[in-house]
Chain A
């Protein structure tokens, strides 16, 4: 193991422990492969510059995600459709240049991924919800960049409620539990839009 790889492995300690356990070894192997492919000191210096920039942007993002776990929302508790809904919610938030994922983004994420809910609301109702949220956002959508966002306080609270309902059902957190969490945030735009379309 050469000096560069040792330094990189040391820097990987900045990531959260759980993330390191899963990904530190393949990341170190990747870096080693990149080092081997870098021919000459200039290429190696360029690789280090890119790698440091990559660390600076990705280490805080992984800690944000780890913080979500501390609030009691380990990914293992979510069903696969719910994970995908949150994944889409992150993109929705990013497309509106928002610094965090709100209840409305969660609702858009669920609508993109839950045909049952879309069927209950109807295509016209879905279009109206999307339009209402886009109007409330007040900015044009952009192509979302690769960035990491945290959940808003209200969205974290909704996830907490969803978890309580899922525990009561003896199941993973499903989109329907997430919807109930959103509905509990009664004053939110997302809850109002759902209530107006008979989802209670």
Chain B
């Protein structure tokens, strides 16, 4: 069965964790930076979504430790599971196909190899 869209909050968190473990605030910062501060998740949305993703086996906790950038404060870190990575890849491929369709209908400029580099 073809994969259906993930919710934006779930996909943002999966992408934020794709390149390594992060704590909650780290995820929020990554999402805000990547979207040019267009998407700012509050703690309620972030942890509510993380809770469901933990239950679905898309992410897992990987212990508490101090964040060097936040002094001695200990943080709870999260990382992707294999299932989470697969879900993120499937969603990214779905979005890529949409962008290709938009480009073929001239809604987007076709990027040259030089621009893409």
Contact = CB atoms under 8 A, between A and B. Distances in A.
Interface of A: 19, 22-23, 26-31, 33-34, 50-51, 53-55, 57-59, 61-62, 75, 80, 83-84, 86-88, 90-92, 94-95, 108, 111-112, 118, 126, 130, 141, 143-148
Given A26-B47, A54-B42, A84-B56, A130 B1 contact: yes
Contacts of A130: 1
Contacts of B55: 75, 83, 87
Contact of A54 (B45, B50, B51): B45
Interface string B31-74: 00000000011111111111111011110000000000010010
B48 A144 contact: no
Contact of A31 (B10, B43, B45, B53): B43
B48 A62 contact: yes
A62 B57 CA distance: 19
Contacts of B47: 23, 26-27, 30
A19 B51 contact: yes
A33 B70 contact: yes
B3 interface: yes
Contacts of A22: 51
A90 to B, nearest CB: 8
A91 B6 contact: yes
Given A118-B1, A144-B7, 6 more contacts: A26-B76, A29-B24, A30-B24, A83-B57, A95-B5, A146-B9
Name B's interface SS. Answer: helix
A86 B52 CA distance: 10
Name A's interface SS. Answer: helix
A80 B73 CA distance: 32
A19 B55 CA distance: 13
A9 to B, nearest CB: 11
Contacts of A92: 4
Nearest to A76: B55
Contacts of B24: 26-27, 29-30
Contact of A91 (B1, B5, B41): B5
Contacts of B16: none
A80 B10 contact: no
B56 A87 contact: yes
A27 B47 CA distance: 7
**Those 9 A-B pairs whose CB atoms lie nearest each other, nearest first:** A54-B42, A58-B44, A87-B56, A146-B9, A27-B43, A54-B44, A33-B25, A30-B43, A23-B47
Contacts of B88: none
Given A29-B73, A34-B25, A51-B42, A61 B5 contact: no
